[in-house]
Amino acid sequence: MHPFRRAVEAGDTSAIEGLLADDAVFTSPVVFKPYQGKAITAAIVRGAARVFEDVRYVREIVSADGRDHALIFRAEINGRQVQGCDFLHLDEDGLIDDLTVMVRPLTAANALAEAMGAQFDRIEREALGAPVAEAQ
């Protein structure tokens, strides 16, 4: 089991951040342009942890060289059932340098876009290291 999966299932966003390379790239299921850098990727993951409910991985597929992982999950967003996959690529040091998330069905992707959109001001402040009020 990849440590990313363990950390997500435990809700340990600090551990997830520790698994990210400084040059990590996050590709969203609902935004075309990828996000560049560890700080924004970690902030997006924290936002997703606030949005996704009852995340459970149902399958893990690993490439022969161990540098690519597909982690298939089920979750809920605002009462909508979500099926998805986290695609991880590891750099030479074993850190995640590419994280791509895909979700289905379209109604779940729309619910995710809405929920993450509501989080995005906070996500951007977190990525910049600005103080964030807990009530948000």
Looking up residue 78, the CATH number of its domain turns out to be 3.10.450.50
- Would 70 be classed as within a structural domain? yes
Task: Report the pLDDT averaged over residues 8-15.
Answer: 92
- Is residue 59 classed exposed, middle or buried when 0-12, 13-18 and 19+ CB atoms within 10 A define those classes? exposed
The 10s digit of each residue's pLDDT in 34-64 is 999 999 999 999 999 999 999 999 999 999 9
What domain range includes position 33? 3-122
- Would 62 be classed as within a structural domain? yes
Count: domains in the chain: 1
- Residue 51: per-residue pLDDT: 93
Residue 67, CA distances (Å) to 44, 61, 88 in order: 22, 11, 8
- Residue 133: per-residue pLDDT: 61
- Residue 39: per-residue pLDDT: 95
- Residue 136: per-residue pLDDT: 44
- Residue 129: per-residue pLDDT: 84
- Would 73 be classed as within a structural domain? yes
